Homo-oligomer: A and B are copies of this chain.
Amino acid sequence: MTKNSEIRLLGTVASPYVNRVQFVCNLKSIDYEFVAENLACKSELLLTSNPIHKKVPVLLHANESPTCESLVIIQYLEEIKPDVHPIFPSAPAERANNRFWAHYIDNQFFPLYEKLRITQGKERKEAIKQEIIEGSIVLEEAFVKTSKGKAYFGGDDVGFLDVVLGCFLSWTYFVEKENKFKIFDEVRTPRLVEWTKRIWSHEAIKSVIPTNEIISEFYMMLQKYRPLGA
């Protein structure tokens, strides 16, 4: 179905949303050309492919219109190559459960990392850390219910939610070090701690996860363009 260079991915290696798409391409053995974007000086191709948001990732597939937004893209990849490593469960109620938690992760959980970065004042930062910890406990419960005692949200292997949450792991590690607290820990979130180790060493994922140096550099750029208190 997919030949070399039939699919191009506009992205940057530090973006968790781009990493999601890379994970799914790897899981499904979809060849793609990675077109590196400089977010401080976006290409004409990016601006014309995603005029609404002007953001990565953008997927260009043969003669189709560009596909934007990471969750939209990975559902698209699932639909064009459903037989190789399906990332969604087949039961409608389980698929709904997956979509619900993806929405929670993208709209409530991960935005707290950015809120923590731009917030000033020790007390206000501590309050956000507490919100993140409460979110991690919610995610632990979601993991227990969704994985049904297996290794991943997706069961015996990586599925949709593993990709959706897994892309934030290197950011989690960075935010923990930067702010001197633990987000996932043995006491509060033991299952997610185990899951984290499995994700880090998974064949389709480990080559994509950005290094701490890459995250650090990206963080510096954020500080420059979207400063504290912005």
Contact = CB atoms under 8 A, between A and B. Distances in A.
Interface of A: 52, 61, 64-65, 67-69, 71-73, 75-76, 79-80, 92-93, 95-97, 99-100, 103-104, 138
Contacts of A138: 52
Contacts of A52: 104, 138
Contacts of A95: 75-76, 79
Contact of A76 (B75, B76, B93, B104): B93
Contact of A97 (B65, B79, B104): B65
A93 B93 CA distance: 24
Interface core residue of A64, A67, A72 (most chain B CB under 10 Å): A72
A99 B65 contact: no
Contact of A96 (B72, B96, B97): B72
Given A79-B95, A138-B52, A103 B72 contact: yes
B92 A79 contact: yes
A75 B93 contact: no
